[in-house]
Amino acid sequence: MRTTRRSFLRLVGAGAAAATVRLDAPPAFAQAGHPVKLGVLTIRAGIAAPVGAAGLRGTEWWLERVNRAGGILGRPVQLVVEEESNPKDTVERYRKLVLQDKVEAVLGGISTGVTLALGPVAEDLGTPWLSWDGTTQKGVEETMPNPRWAFKSVDNEVEAIVAGMLTARHFKGIKTVAGIGNDYSYGHDCWQAYQAVLKRYTPDVKFVLELFPKLGVTDFTSHLAAIQQSRADLLMCSFWSGDATIILKQAAAVDLFKTMKGAFTTAGGVHDSLKKNFTPEGLLLGYNTMYFDDPKGSALLKQFVREYKAKYAEYPPYECDHAYFCAESYKAAVEKAAAGSTKWPEKATVVRALEGIEVESLSGRRSWREDHVHMCNFYQGITTHKNPYDFVTIDPVEVVSTKVAMKPAGTKLFDWINSWKI
């Protein structure tokens, strides 16, 4: 056959094209060995930095285990970490993660002030977003009842609801209650929910004082003077950061809890700073969704606590568990969506697989409700000094599921509380 100029050029072109194809490249559909990128949004500056650090540490611990065991569908996992700050900047970083870094999913989000803005963006960009601790609630009302891509944390007010139930159980005869919380949505919503629940159990209870200092205040001596003057039987406090430690220390200095009971709904977030010499026994203390010293805790929890303590010289708080659950449930959903094949599933298939999925997290079994909200247990109990630590722990440990303490999908919080049969 004669080689014409045209057939020669065709041959050269085909050769050049063939030369660009690497012979060792795997078939495109399998993608085995190519890292799968997961975006992580966390807070590393400001008052919530300890919470953000715990979430990131929980995710990194999960990452090491998963990669050691061969990754997800044979692909090693890589994290792309971005900062959660104000809503505007965080939304920009979220876009960057999805559009520029091309992550398969985004994990994280702590402040509801930020995640309220992230929710609609996640829906627009069509990438799964699994929030650690942030919801899409405005106050106590859900703003995204039927999301497709956004998976949200437990309703913010759940720990106050659990504390309300346990106050009625452990502190019978309470007639007057004072409340203190931070002056933003979380503090106000917790106080409202707590009052509504306690009122159901003890209808004649009176709420005699409410104080809402700004987030970040480090001197509560004036607030404590007002609380003492109120002569309430019980103080409810929803502080969750260093302010919980400070108010307990300053309360001890004026012997507040000699005459008053206390319900600290969320102070377990800084549990190892609640030293015995200023945190009395007999307070109700909430640890959110993970109690590091749970006597019934799983082998996974015990291993995590041991390794976390060895690495960071601290005992882990709850955010580790939120974060671990988000990552682990994503892995389980990808494997479920792949249904035995090695082909990486479409994002849309993964979000369908996430709905209702249940996995073992650090705190035990956790799942996603059909409307994309975490389902888990809350741990609260009465403070005790009988432990080998220099800080308080709880005994008994009360475990309350979100099945009883979180408003069902599509209901209004206060209608739901008022419908309880007690």
Partner 1 sequence: MLSGVFHGSILFLVSAGLQVVFGVQKIFNLACGSFYALGAYVGVSAVGWYVGAGGPPALFIAPLAVAGLAVGAVGVPVERGLLRFVYDRDETFQLLLTFAIVLMMEDAIRMTWGTSPRSTSGLYLTYGRVGVLGTTVPVYNLIVIGASLAIAVLIGWLLTRTTFGWIIRASADNREMTEALGVDMRRLHTTVFTLGTALGTLGGALVIPATAAMSEMGIELIVEAFAVVVIGGLGSMRGAFVGALVVGVLRSIAISVYPELEMLLIYLIVIAVLVLRPRGLFGGPPA
Residues 177-213 as b/e (b if ≥16 CB within 10 A, e otherwise) read: bbbbbbeebbbbbbbbbbbbbbbbbbeebebbbbbeb
**Residue 373 contacts partner 1 per CB under 8 A:** no
Helix (H) or strand (E) holding 163: helix 158-170
CA 98/CA 317 separation, integer angstroms = 29
Q: Confirm or reject binding of residue 250 to partner 1 (CB under 8 A).
A: yes
With beta carbons less than 8 A apart as the criterion, state whether 150 and 369 touch.
no
- Check if the beta carbon of residue 268 is closer than 8 Å to that of residue 285: yes
Identity of the residue, 133 or 155, whose beta carbon is nearer to partner 1 in the bound complex: 133
> Would strands 261-264 and 284-286 be described as parallel, antiparallel, or unpaired?
parallel
Site size toward partner 1, by CB under 8 A: 44
Q: 């247990």: which residue's tokens?
A: 377
- Tell me how far CA of residue 343 lies from CA of 27, 68, 281, 334, 338, in angstroms: 11, 21, 55, 10, 6
Contact 363, 304 (CB under 8 A): no
Using CB under 8 A as the binding rule, whether residue 40 contacts partner 1 is answered as no
How far apart are CB 325 and partner 1 at their closest, in Å? 21
Stretch that binds partner 1, among 86-94, 271-279, 369-377, 400-408 (CB under 8 A): 271-279
Q: Which of 224, 292, 308, 234 is nearest to 265 (CA)?
A: 234
**Residue 311 within binding range of partner 1, rule CB under 8 A:** no
Residues in 196-215 that interact with partner 1 by CB under 8 A: 209-214
Residue among 75, 199, 200, 223 that touches partner 1 (CB under 8 A): 223
With contacts defined by CB under 8 A, name the span among 113-121, 274-282, 346-354, 373-381 that binds partner 1.
274-282
Q: Smallest gap, in angstroms, from Cβ of residue 184 to partner 1?
A: 13
Residue 315, Cβ density class (10 Å: 0-12 exposed, 13-18 middle, ≥19 buried): middle
Which of 174, 270, 284, 400 lies at the binding interface for partner 1 (CB under 8 A)? Answer: 270
Applying CB under 8 A, does 252 fall inside the site for partner 1? yes
314, 355, 371, 395: residue in contact with partner 1 (rule CB under 8 A): 314
Binding part of the chain for partner 1, among 4-12, 20-28, 40-48, 160-168 by CB under 8 A, reads: 40-48
CA of residue 357 relative to chain centroid, distance? 17
Task: Say which amino acid occupies 275.
Answer: K
Compute the distance between CA of residue 77 and CA of residue 381 in angstroms, rounded to an integer. Answer: 37
Which one of 217, 300, 375, 399 is in contact with partner 1 (CB under 8 A)? 217
Residue 182 CA to residue 247 CA, distance in Å, equals: 12
To partner 1, the closest distance from the beta carbon of 54 in angstroms equals 8
Nearer to partner 1, 103 or 247 (CB): 247
Q: Which of 40, 41, 42, 50 binds partner 1 (CB under 8 A)?
A: 50
316 binds partner 1 (CB under 8 A): no
182 binds partner 1 (CB under 8 A): no
Asked if 251 interacts with partner 1 (CB under 8 A), we say no
Determine if 329 is a binding residue for partner 1 (CB under 8 A).
no
Q: Which is nearer to partner 1, 253 or 409 (CB)?
A: 253
- Provide the minimum distance between the beta carbon of 250 and partner 1 in the complex, in angstroms, as a whole number: 6
Q: Are 352 and 337 in contact (CB under 8 A)?
A: yes
Is 166 near partner 1 (CB under 8 A)? no
Asked if 402 and 154 touch (Cβ cutoff 8 Å), the reply is yes
Q: By CB under 8 A, name the binding residues for partner 1.
A: 45-47, 49-50, 53, 209-214, 216-219, 221-226, 228-229, 241-242, 245-246, 249-250, 252-255, 270, 272-273, 275, 277-278, 312-314, 390
